[in-house]
């Protein structure tokens, strides 16, 4: 009998996940809580599930910015304050160097498939639940 071997980078296998709630929607988000995972983000991904994304945890609230170099799929990003309130939502085009920044100090950023927030009526001022269970950013 032959068994196939699938090789995946260890970082993909070890990426922690969190369940968050945005409005009435559940999200399964990979957690990027350290500098290497935040720098890598969702680069080189070819697909995200409908309710899958990545939550970036920053060590302190600040003017966080995102860009899309080496990111192959369109994404929406919600910048979120320390209390879990969405500050602003930006649409980001693949393979661009445009900066998309928080309008006020943000402690988190949640990246989802392009248009995800708009299609579900999620807007600034709404809360993201479950962030308090995330590891501290470093």
Query: DSSP string spanning 45-66?
Result: -----TTEEEEEEEEEEE--EE
What is the architecture, at CATH level 2, of domain 14-131?
Answer: Sandwich (2.60)
Beta-bridge mates of residue 100: 66
pLDDT for res 124:
98
pLDDT for res 14:
56
Q: Which residues of the chain, if any, have pLDDT below 50?
A: 1-13
Q: What is the pTM of this model?
A: 0.89
Q: Domain-by-domain residue ranges, the chain?
A: 14-131
- Which residue, 70, 69, 61, 67, is CA-closest to 111? 67
């Amino acid at each position: 009998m032959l068994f196939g071997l699938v090789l995946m980078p260890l970082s993909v296998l070890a990426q922690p996940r969190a369940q968050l709630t945005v409005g009435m929607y559940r999200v399964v988000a990979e957690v990027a809580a350290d500098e290497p995972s935040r720098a890598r983000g969702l680069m080189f991904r070819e697909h995200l599930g409908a309710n899958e994304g990545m939550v970036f945890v920053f060590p302190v609230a600040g003017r966080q910015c995102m860009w899309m170099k080496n990111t192959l799929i369109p994404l929406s990003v919600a910048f979120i304050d320390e209390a879990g309130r969405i500050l602003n939502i930006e649409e980001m085009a693949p393979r661009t160097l445009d900066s998309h920044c928080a309008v006020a100090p943000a402690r988190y950023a949640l990246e989802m498939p392009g248009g995800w927030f708009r299609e579900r009526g999620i807007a600034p001022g709404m809360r993201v639940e479950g962030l308090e269970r995330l590891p501290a950013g470093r």
